[in-house]
């Protein structure tokens, strides 16, 4: 069955066929033909953003909350380049995303035409793959291929750039497309049985194992399999910033987050382990600190769907290429077989770990100036909203506190910009998440710096009835940068004061600003106002809510391992390194 | 530092050379030479990349290259199981007194003269990179006016073909 339609219609038809129900975008000259049939689509909801970066992060938030593909659309030139930050972000955090951009007419490509930018060239290093389409006939196959690449293997962003004349040309459309456009794409999902066997043997020989769980477990939807494996071997477990929620925080096996701002038990557990069971994690520098001194005594099992991650930073004694869901299930089965009902005894190791947990729990202290402690605010948001809610954070101190002081029990409930560290992620990502999961309570926990980068999407939220809750952790400064200036630059606060707190010029006044956007806007300055504001936000669903929490600016994120330093030098609080027992 | 010869079968798609070259640049791998051309199969090109590595394992290079969707296959061509050739054109100054010496060098290196004028000759030579380097050294005293070199192209010895398994 074929039908004569335009390339633009084919783009919409292909999206429908591929199961896409939501796209975030903003039209312009070179994508105009596609916006016309989009208007008639009954299957696709288009959400008009106020800035293309918002469309990109919304697509990411949609994808991260639902596990489905996120889609964003922009026009050529500046429309496309405004997507670049979000595309880079999705690339770093392996988010399945399809970015569709209009391009100038094919005969004008290369002439510096109006609103022309070589977006395929610009995004080459930050996409999993990209396509430039200049013939309408190629659209169905390219669209199918783009979605296949974005969502399988290690997920990532794929860009499809379509010349305007290809959108306007008519051709015979048929579905499914027959042409295989990417013969070179064959992700490995099933591991070698022998490697799994070797991994099981190594685990059973180990006396001090630790499960080092990364974002790959969440992307693979492998949390149930992980739970079974963790319960079988009873090993301590740590979830990276990208993996918060992959394993319940309430479980005593969970040591919390590792890395620069990880818990002492997680950081030290990795350092002292004799085996890292690495699942979908990539030995990021924020986790390892100085690589040469990272977990020196440990052997490494490294499970990843991307072969290039294995051995990139740390040698793997047992490398396993495959989908985390498949590998973890196989590994559990293999361990059961090898254990033959015997118990795997690591009680000595637990004695040590439990000692760390007891001596170095996560915590914070009240501020000397009597201002609201940001950690308290975030903790209360988590406690009142519960583990079914979705939390999206910006980047900086509030992000780390949100990772530390909210208990995550479920995957896809913690959304953040981990690899790229993109300020401004929270509001649009929360918007995307709320669109994907309309029945869930969705918080954007944002900083006063981050909020000023993408708050225009509050207009999108209000107009489209996307009632997200935004908690601005307003310390009137670029807080994380300020923390580093406090610690490493002799308290010389170069350009980190944002003047948004109550004893400043308050530009902008976030309450007035949010009110202007049609949100319910609340200001909170005192401890006793915190709960009431959070509850009011949770009860208000006819519009977005913004709470401006004015907090103390001297609060710092602890524990901390300074950049490039050995994780052995983890500081529990300022000038307070843990005291190690004798030979430890 | 270690040097490796990689042979890549790639889809003949716009931008593929950029993708490969940009990946090398971005990941900090050094390209010694890169040659690209069509193959016995329609729509498939072959690249020969000579890469110098300092510290990084070759495995990282091939794994990263394999992630490029348009790359179909990568093999390392080891010295003893393959042949590699560079192609070089050299314009050398000559006069009545030196021409015979230059021509003698041409014969010794099994090179060919492809253009002659009164004060220079253009010589074509093919061989592995060691031979080309040696030839340049011999010609240098006469005065090299212009030198142009292809990157190495390489092929495995024996009857097996690189494209056999990829393109059934």
Cβ-Cβ contacts under 8 Å between A and B: the total is 40
Which ranges constitute the DSSP H helices of chain B?
Answer: 16-27, 58-66, 99-108, 129-139
Q: How far is B110 from chain A (nearest CA, A)?
A: 41
Interface test with B, best of A184, A185, A309, A315 (most B CBs within 10 A): A184
Q: Domain ends where: B76, B107, B124? A: B76
How much helix, strand and coil, in percent to the nearest 5, is found in chain A?
A: 40, 15, 40
Q: How far is B112 from chain A (nearest CA, A)?
A: 41
Give the single-character DSSP code of A578: P
B18 Cβ under 8 Å from any chain A Cβ: yes
Question: In chain A, what percentage of residues exceed pLDDT 90?
Answer: 93
A132 Cβ under 8 Å from any chain B Cβ: yes
- Residues B3-23: what's their mean pLDDT? 95
Query: In this structure, how many other beta carbons lie within 10 angstroms of the beta carbon of residue A455?
Result: 26
Q: What is the CATH number of the domain that holds B39?
A: 3.30.70.260
Question: In terms of residue numbers, what domain contains B63?
Answer: 2-76
Q: What is the pLDDT of residue A580?
A: 61
Interface test with A, best of B25, B69, B168 (most A CBs within 10 A): B69
Which one, of A68, A117, A120, lies nearest residue A96 by Cα? A68
Interface of A with B in 280-319 (CB under 8 A): 306-308, 311-312
Whether residue B41 sits in one domain with residue B62: yes
Contacts of A304 in chain B (CB under 8 A): none
Q: What is the pLDDT of residue A575?
A: 78
Q: What pLDDT, in 10s, does the model give residues A3-48?
A: 999 999 999 999 999 999 999 999 999 999 999 999 999 999 999 9
Per-residue pLDDT at A245 exceeds 80:
yes
CB B88 within 8 A of CB B147: yes
User: From start to end of A426-527, where are the E strands?
Assistant: 442-447, 469-474, 520-524
Active site residue A483: no
- What is the three-class DSSP state of B5? strand
Give the model's confidence band at A465: pLDDT under 50 very low, under 70 low, under 90 confident, else very high: very high
Give the model's confidence band at B168: pLDDT under 50 very low, under 70 low, under 90 confident, else very high: low
Which one, of B99, B96, B153, B141, lies nearest residue B123 by Cα? B99
Tell how far CA A251 is from the center of its chain. 23
- Residues A519-529: what's their mean pLDDT? 98
Contacts of B14 in chain A (CB under 8 A): 132
> Does any domain span residue B147?
yes
A370 Cβ under 8 Å from any chain B Cβ: no
Whether residue B105 sits in one domain with residue B58: no
> Does any domain span residue B165?
no
Which one, of A128, A137, A140, A80, lies nearest residue A104 by Cα? A80
Q: What is the CATH number of the domain that holds B123?
A: 3.30.70.1150
Q: How far is B25 from chain A (nearest CA, A)?
A: 10
Give burial (CB, 10 Å; 0-12/13-18/19+) of A36.
middle
CB B10 within 8 A of CB B44: yes
Please tell me the total count of domains within chain B. Answer: 2
- Residues A39-67: what's their mean pLDDT? 98
**CA dihedral for A18, A20, A24, A25, sign (positive or negative):** positive
What lies within 8 Å, CB to CB, of A340 at 6+ separation is none
Angle between helices A397-405 and A479-488 (to 10 degrees): 100
Whether residue B147 sits in one domain with residue B91: yes
CA distance B24 to B142: 37
- Please pick, among A330, A480, A556, A560, the residue that the annotation labels catalytic: A480
> Does any domain span residue B7?
yes
**CA dihedral for A8, A13, A19, A24, sign (positive or negative):** positive
Q: What is the pLDDT of residue A564?
A: 87
Per-residue pLDDT at A447 exceeds 90:
yes
> Does any domain span residue B162?
no
CA angle A238–A480–A486, rounded 5-degree value? 115
Whether residue B72 sits in one domain with residue B25: yes
CA angle B112–B148–B62, rounded 5-degree value? 115
pLDDT higher at A369 or A394: A394
Q: What is the pLDDT of residue A581?
A: 53
- Residues A570-584: what's their mean pLDDT? 71
Whether residue B99 sits in one domain with residue B48: no
Whether residue B7 sits in one domain with residue B37: yes
Which one, of A313, A395, A579, lies nearest residue B56 by Cα? A313
Taking CB atoms and an 8 Å limit, are A182 and B69 in contact across chains?
yes
Whether residue B149 sits in one domain with residue B91: yes
Give the model's confidence band at A522: pLDDT under 50 very low, under 70 low, under 90 confident, else very high: very high
Active site residue A131: no
Whether residue B65 sits in one domain with residue B18: yes
ipTM: 0.91
- List the single range of A233-247, A345-359, B24-38 with lowest mean pLDDT: B24-38
Which phi and psi (to 5°) does residue A123 adopt? -95, 5
Which one of A121, A182, A308 has the shortest CB-CB distance to B18?
Answer: A121
Q: What is the pLDDT of residue B1?
A: 83
Taking CB atoms and an 8 Å limit, are B22 and A149 in contact across chains?
no
Which one, of A81, A98, A78, A100, lies nearest residue A164 by Cα? A100
> Does any domain span residue B112?
yes
Give the model's confidence band at A584: pLDDT under 50 very low, under 70 low, under 90 confident, else very high: very low
Structure tokens at A239: 């979830």
pLDDT higher at B14 or A20: A20
Taking CB atoms and an 8 Å limit, are A132 and B57 in contact across chains?
no
Residue of B nearest to A312 (CA): B60
> Does any domain span residue B159?
no
Q: What pLDDT, in 10s, does the model give residues B130-158?
A: 999 999 999 999 999 999 999 999 999 99
Whether residue B89 sits in one domain with residue B51: no
Residue of A nearest to B70 (CA): A184
> Does any domain span residue B44?
yes
Q: Domain ends where: B42, B76, B110? A: B76
- Residues A307-314: what's their mean pLDDT? 96
Mean pLDDT computed over every residue of chain A: 96
Q: What pLDDT, in 10s, does the model give residues A180-208?
A: 778 889 999 999 999 999 999 999 999 99
pTM score above 0.80: yes
Per-residue pLDDT at A291 exceeds 60:
yes
Q: What is the pLDDT of residue A574?
A: 82
Whether residue B9 sits in one domain with residue B71: yes
Which one, of B63, B61, B69, lies nearest residue B34 by Cα? B61
Whether residue B50 sits in one domain with residue B13: yes
Which phi and psi (to 5°) does residue B130 adopt? -65, -45
Q: What is the pLDDT of residue B54?
A: 86
Q: Domain ends where: B51, B76, B101? A: B76
A125 Cβ under 8 Å from any chain B Cβ: yes
Taking CB atoms and an 8 Å limit, are A185 and B69 in contact across chains?
yes
Q: How far is B60 from chain A (nearest CA, A)?
A: 6
Q: What pLDDT, in 10s, does the model give residues B31-45?
A: 999 999 999 999 999
**What domains sit in chain A, N to C, each tagged with a CATH number?**
3-173 (3.40.50.970), 193-359 (3.40.50.1220), 374-550 (3.40.50.970)
> Does any domain span residue B161?
no
The number of C-alpha atoms within 13 Å of A282 and in the hemisphere containing its C-beta is 17
- Residues A252-261: what's their mean pLDDT? 97
Which phi and psi (to 5°) does residue A373 adopt? -80, 125
- Residues A491-517: what's their mean pLDDT? 96
Whether residue B18 sits in one domain with residue B54: yes
Q: What is the pLDDT of residue B167?
A: 64
Q: What pLDDT, in 10s, does the model give residues B50-106?
A: 999 987 789 999 999 999 999 999 999 999 999 999 999 999 999 999 999 999 999
């Amino acid at each position: 069955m074929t039908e004569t339609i335009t390339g633009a219609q084919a783009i919409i038809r292909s999206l429908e066929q591929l199961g896409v129900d939501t796209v975030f975008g903003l039209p312009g000259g070179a994508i105009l033909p596609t916006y016309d049939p989009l208007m008639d689509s009954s299957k696709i909801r288009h959400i008009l953003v106020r800035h293309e970066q918002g469309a990109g992060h919304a697509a990411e938030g949609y994808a991260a909350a639902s596990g489905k593909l996120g889609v964003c659309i922009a026009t050529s030139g500046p429309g496309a380049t405004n997507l670049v930050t979000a595309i880079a972000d999705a690339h770093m955090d392996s988010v399945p995303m399809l970015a569709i951009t209009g391009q100038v007419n094919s005969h004008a490509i290369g002439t510096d035409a109006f609103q022309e930018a070589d977006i395929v060239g610009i995004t080459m290093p930050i996409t999993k793959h990209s396509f430039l389409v200049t013939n309408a006939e190629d659209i169905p196959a390219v669209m199918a291929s783009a979605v296949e690449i974005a969502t399988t293997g290690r997920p990532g962003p794929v860009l499809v750039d379509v010349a305007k004349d290809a959108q306007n040309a008519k051709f015979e459309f048929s579905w499914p497309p027959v042409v295989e456009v990417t013969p070179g794409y064959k992700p490995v999902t099933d591991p070698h049985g022998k490697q799994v066997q070797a991994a099981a043997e190594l685990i059973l020989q180990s006396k001090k194992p630790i499960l080092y769980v990364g974002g790959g477990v969440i992307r693979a939807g492998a949390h149930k399999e992980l739970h079974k494996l963790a319960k079988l071997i009873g090993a301590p477990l740590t979830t990276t910033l990208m993996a918060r929620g992959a394993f319940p925080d309430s479980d005593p096996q969970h040591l919390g987050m590792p890395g620069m701002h990880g818990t002492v038990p997680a950081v030290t557990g990795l350092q002292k382990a004799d085996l890292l069971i690495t699942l979908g994690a990539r030995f990021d520098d924020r986790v390892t600190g100085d690589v040469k001194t990272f977990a020196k005594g440990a052997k490494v099992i490294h499970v990843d769907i991307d072969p290039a991650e294995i051995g990139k930073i740390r040698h793997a004694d047992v490398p396993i290429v495959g989908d985390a869901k498949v590998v973890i299930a196989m590994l559990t089965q293999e361990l059961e077989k090898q254990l033959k009902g015997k118990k795997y005894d690591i009680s000595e190791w637990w004695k040590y770990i439990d000692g760390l947990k007891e001596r170095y729990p996560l915590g914070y202290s009240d501020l000397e100036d009597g201002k609201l402690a940001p950690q308290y605010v975030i903790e209360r948001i988590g406690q009142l909203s519960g583990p079914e809610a979705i939390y999206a954070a910006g980047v900086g101190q509030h992000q780390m506190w949100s990772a530390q002081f909210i208990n995550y029990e479920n995957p896809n409930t913690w959304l953040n910009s981990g690899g790229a560290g993109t300020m401004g992620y929270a509001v649009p990502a929360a918007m995307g998440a709320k669109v994907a999961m309309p029945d869930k309570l969705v918080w954007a926990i944002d900083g006063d710096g981050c909020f000023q980068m993408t708050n225009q999407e509050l207009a999108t939220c209000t107009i489209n009835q996307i009632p997200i809750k935004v908690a601005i952790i307003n310390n009137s400064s670029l807080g994380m940068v300020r923390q580093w200036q406090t610690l490493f630059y002799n308290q010389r606060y170069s350009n980190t004061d944002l003047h948004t707190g109550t004893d400043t010029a308050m530009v902008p006044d976030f309450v007035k600003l949010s009110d202007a956007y049609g949100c319910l806007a609340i200001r909170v300055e005192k401890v006793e106002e915190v709960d009431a504001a959070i509850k009011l936000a949770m009860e208000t669903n006819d519009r977005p809510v913004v709470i401006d929490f004015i907090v103390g600016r001297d609060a710092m994120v602890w524990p901390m391992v300074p950049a490039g330093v050995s994780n052995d030098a983890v500081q529990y609080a300022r000038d307070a390194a843990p005291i190690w027992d004798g030979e430890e | 530092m270690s040097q490796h010869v990689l042979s890549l079968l790639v889809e003949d798609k716009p931008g593929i050379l950029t993708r490969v070259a940009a990946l090398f640049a971005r990941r900090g791998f050094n390209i010694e030479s890169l040659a690209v051309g069509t193959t016995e199969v329609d729509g498939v090109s072959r690249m020969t990349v000579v890469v110098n590595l300092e510290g990084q394992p070759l495995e990282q290079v091939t794994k990263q290259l394999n992630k490029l969707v348009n790359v179909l296959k990568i093999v390392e061509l080891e010295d003893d199981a393959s042949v590699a050739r560079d192609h070089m054109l050299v314009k050398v100054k000559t006069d009545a007194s030196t021409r015979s010496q230059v021509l003698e060098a041409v014969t010794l290196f099994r090179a060919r003269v492809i253009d002659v004028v009164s004060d220079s000759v253009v010589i074509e030579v093919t061989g592995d990179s060691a031979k080309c380097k040696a030839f340049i050294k011999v010609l240098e005293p006469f005065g090299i006016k212009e030198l142009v070199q292809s990157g190495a192209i390489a092929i495995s010895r024996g009857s097996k073909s690189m494209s056999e398994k990829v393109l059934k």
